[in-house]
Amino acid sequence: MDDQIVIHLKTGHKIEGRLARAFSFDDIDIEILFAEGQRRLPFAVDEICAIRFKNLPTWALSETPAAIEDIHTTSGETFRVASFTRKFRKGFVSLDQDEAAPLRTIFFTFSGIRGRSEVQRIGEILKEHGFVTNNSLDETLQMQDELRSRRIGEIVAETGELSLEAIDETFQTASKKLKIPLNVRIGDILVEFGLVTRDQVENAFAAQQKGKKMKVGELLISQGLITEEQLLQALAKKFRLALVDLGTIIPSEQALGALSEGLLSRLRVFPIEFDGRTLVVATSTPTDLTVGDNLRFSTKYDIRFVVASARQITAAIDKYYHKYAVDTLLESMDEAQSIDLEDESYEVHVEPDSEVIALVNRLLVDAYKRGASDIHLEPGAGKNSLFVRYRIDGDCIAVHKISASHKQAIAARIKIIAGLDITERRRPQSGKILLRVDQRRLEYRVEVTPIVGGQEVVVLRLLSASKPLPLEQMGFSTHNLERFKELLGKPYGMILCVGPTGSGKTTTLHSALVHVNTTSRKIWTVEDPVEITQQGLCQVQVNAKIGYNFAEALRSFLRADPDVIMIGEMRDGETAKIAIEASLTGHLVFSTLHTNSAPETATRLIHMGMDPFNFAEALLGIIAQRLAKKLCDHCKNPVRPTHEEYEELVSEFVHSSGKMSDFIPAYDNATVMVRNGCERCGGTGYTGRIAIHELMLGTPAIKRAIWEGKEVEEIKKIALEEGMRTLKMDGIDKIFKGITDLEQIRRVCF
């Protein structure tokens, strides 16, 4: 090749000259002659962004460059080139697209590149991959233009309930009466005239700025036209970066130590590999070149980016960097001060230290973030470890193993924050813990139970502290939803929700209360404890310490002009009797009971001593409920069941109902979903739970069966003939809808 070259240094300087010796693209330095050949000067390749040559290397003559791209160097220059796919140890070769340039061959160093991106627009890449159509892309581009050209007045008109005409009229009036500076904002005038508040104007300004910054990819995602994963694929192609799945990558210790948690949280990146000089970092925003600038400035390392989703980056930061991550704390905690627990008469009360306090706090937060309903702290005998298990989606999962030396300190810390007596280790104690996480108030109910060997088992139940959901989001089939809403339209009577502990009975009743909660109705609830709150309800919590129980609360409610009463649980005959009387005297009464099925509930209450005539007359309906695990939406796959699998589902249905149903699809049309396992579901194939229901209406035939003292099977037969679907029938319906599978239905239905 011709020996004339130009070196572009990272400092921004350019050095022109000739090669003093042959240069191979794998060399670590280059030597040039300049000043009319009087001086020889070597440069390390790591000091250089780019080197221009006159001629292409021989190997490049037979290769075709890839797509045209813009390369941005750390010195602030931009080159439009077509790059060859061949890579060298320190960089790659490109061809300048300016045909008039005297030196068109450019060798770029990896360390000197700030960013690179294909000239092709992101929308065109998405269209090329088949992710969007021409029409949807054109409509989105038009929307982007409209967002970028929106005026403050238009946004204020939308949010401040003003017309554009009123805003223009105000501006014209102000222009005539006042001397308005040229730089005044229309929002300031509207505030001055009292038409909008300062907050409304600032919110409108923020919305305007946000609209101007909205990118095509973000708009396509917001409209549901593409997914985040599809956008990432397009971004990876445009910026010539690898797309990675952080769920399958274990970062090196060197990489994790190269960046601080604060820097990661600010830039929203995650380190993967580090060889002592080059740091490989995952980003979800390759369009933002300042991220690389900040990393290079902060670390003094060369940065190589890969692309990953923002969700995966956030999860990885939380997993590997959280200051009080449970595993990190456990590794750092000192085991030197072990306690001899073999002598039961030897009582030691360990004062929790800062590490134990941090560990307990982190356990409470960790359980909440992982969706646990309960935390079980189970001490082993003697010097055996303390085991921590979370109940997630109904299953207990072992999550941590803690040294025996901290057992008593952890129990003592929980007692302290739950307001319990730390010196009492012979009798059970109950308390509660309140804390705030991510602006959300959490409440744990604490139960400390002494066991043999002087140990104490601690169970913490996380109360939902959530808002009620509408009935449409409660997993009801269309068949059951219509029938249940019909019951809720009745002015008086009793509706019962039954099932085992933790089956979502209270959640269902609160959704029912949402449906009947109007300004014309007075609604009272008594619960133990109050887990879900909503406007319009007078909610009361029982207090055993002062003898204030469900029956006492009910008597009080009946003197307080109620229309609707909800009783958290019918624990005894007295409560049940008062509830029945209330429903017969013009009140709509809701309650729960621990029974297995709707027909069984009818006989259970009679066995509790209720008058069968009064109970039957009061009964509107009974809904039995279970919670079954849902298949993960991100990894479940549709399959055609085999003949054997189809017949198995049909036989389960027929065994439960005694007949086929029109909602069971024919074999040729049958499709079910199968689980696979992915990062989002922790490899289990399941995320969350779905309710399955059995709704028995208090029809004349059912009431007559209760009067006559019919057995459970006879009542069930009548209910099935009148349209009831058993729990298993509802579950099999949800299997064919792809929500769950037979394994989970069998676990919760008999």
What CATH number does the domain containing 593 carry? 3.40.50.300
Residue whose entry in the numeric block shows the structure tokens 């770029």: 108
601 and 716 housed in the same domain: yes
CA-CA distance, 327 to 214, in Å (whole number)? 40
Question: How many degrees, rounded to 5, is the angle at CA 462 between CA 461 and CA 468?
Answer: 130
Integer Cα distance of 284 and 312 in angstroms = 9
Domain at 307, CATH number: 3.30.300.160
Cα–Cα distance measured from residue 515 to residue 469, given in angstroms and rounded to the nearest whole number = 10
Q: Is residue 237 situated within a structural domain? A: no
**Same-domain pairing of 588 and 601:** yes
Give the pLDDT mean for 79-95.
89
Question: Quick check: 343 pLDDT over 50?
Answer: no
Q: Are residues 313 and 340 in the same domain?
A: no
More confident residue, 64 or 211: 64
Structural domain ending residue among the three candidates 119, 141, 174: 119
- How does residue 719 score in pLDDT terms, banded at 50, 70 and 90? very high
Q: Which of 424, 441, 463 lies at the terminal end of a domain, its last residue?
A: 463
Q: Which of 218 and 746 is assigned the larger pLDDT?
A: 746
Is 229 among the domain residues? no
Closest CA to 477 of 253, 733, 144: 733
Whether 77 shows a pLDDT value over 70: the answer reads yes
Least confident of 128-132, 185-189, 416-420: 185-189
- Per the CB < 8 A criterion, the answer to whether 685 and 677 are in contact is yes
With respect to residue 189, please indicate whether it lies within any of the assigned structural domains. yes
Please report, rounded to a whole number, the percentage of residues in the chain having pLDDT higher than 70.
Answer: 78
Give the residue-averaged pLDDT of 291-317.
87
User: What pLDDT is stored for residue 162 in this prediction?
Assistant: 52
Q: State the Cα–Cα distance between residues 750 and 742, nearest whole angstrom.
A: 12
Pairing assessment for the beta strands 429-437 and 440-450 based on DSSP bridges: antiparallel
Q: Does 344 score more than 50 pLDDT?
A: no
Per-residue pLDDT, 690? 93
- pLDDT value for 486: 93
Q: Is 50 exceeded by the pLDDT of residue 740?
A: yes
DSSP three-state, residue 276: coil
Average pLDDT (263-287) is 88
Same domain? 218 vs 168: yes
Domain identity same for 252 and 377: no
Write down the pTM of the prediction. 0.57
Looking up tokens 């249940």 gives 484
Which tens digits make up the pLDDT trace of 566-610?
998 888 888 999 999 999 999 999 999 999 999 999 999 998 889
640 Cβ contact list (under 8 Å, min separation 6): 670, 671
Residue 405 lies in a domain: yes
> Does the residue 677 lie in any domain?
no
Percent of the chain topping pLDDT 90: 23
Query: Is residue 625 within 8 Å of 505, Cβ to Cβ?
Result: yes
Residue 249 within a domain: yes
Does residue 183 surpass a pLDDT of 90?
A: no
pLDDT in tens, 556-566: 898 888 999 99
- With respect to residue 639, please indicate whether it lies within any of the assigned structural domains: no
Helix (H, G, I), strand (E, B) or coil at 521: coil
CA 155, 157, 158, 159 dihedral sign is positive
DSSP H or E run through 376: strand 372-379
pLDDT of residue 339: 33
Taking alpha carbons only, the member of 354, 351, 395 closest to residue 371 is: 395
What confidence category does residue 349 fall into, taking pLDDT thresholds of 50, 70 and 90?
Answer: very low
State which amino acid sits at residue 34.
Answer: F
Q: Is 329 helix (H, G, I), strand (E, B) or coil?
A: helix
pLDDT of 323: 44
Residues 304 and 440 in one domain: no
Mean pLDDT of 514-528: 90
Q: What is the pLDDT of residue 173?
A: 58
Same domain (yes/no): 576, 710: yes
Instruction: State the pLDDT at residue 612.
Output: 92
As a whole number, the mean pLDDT across the chain is 81
Weakest-pLDDT range from 47-56, 60-69, 265-274, 620-629: 60-69
pLDDT bucket at 203, cuts 50 / 70 / 90: low
Strands 440-450 and 456-463: antiparallel
- The closest of 82, 81, 79, 83 to 91, measured between CA atoms, is 83
**Amino acid of residue 128:** E
Average of pLDDT values for 336-352? Answer: 40
Q: Is the peptide bond before 529 cis (omega within 30 degrees of 0)?
A: yes
In this structure, are 437 and 524 located in the same domain?
no
pLDDT of 386 > 80? The answer is yes
**Shared domain check, 388 and 519:** no
Among residues 463, 498, 521, which one ends one of the domains?
463
Domain membership flag for residue 233? no
Least confident of 31-40, 390-399, 518-527: 31-40
Report the C-alpha gap between 581 and 492 in whole angstroms: 11
Q: What is the mean pLDDT of residues 393-408?
A: 84
Residues 562 and 606 in one domain: yes
Q: What pLDDT, on a 0 to 100 scale, did the predictor assign at position 21?
A: 86
* Residue 524 tokens, joined: 């009272």
Whether residues 41 and 128 fall in one domain: no
- DSSP SS3 for 654: helix
Confidence of residue 347 (pLDDT cuts 50, 70, 90): very low
Same domain, 129 and 201: yes
647-682 residue pLDDT tens: 888 877 766 555 555 667 777 778 888 888 876 777
Task: Count CA atoms closer than 13 A to 530's CA, side-chain side.
Answer: 14
**Given a cut of 70, is residue 416 above it in pLDDT?**
yes
What total of structural domains would you count in the chain? Answer: 5
Task: Provide mean pLDDT across the span 81-92.
Answer: 89
Range of the domain at 307: 244-321
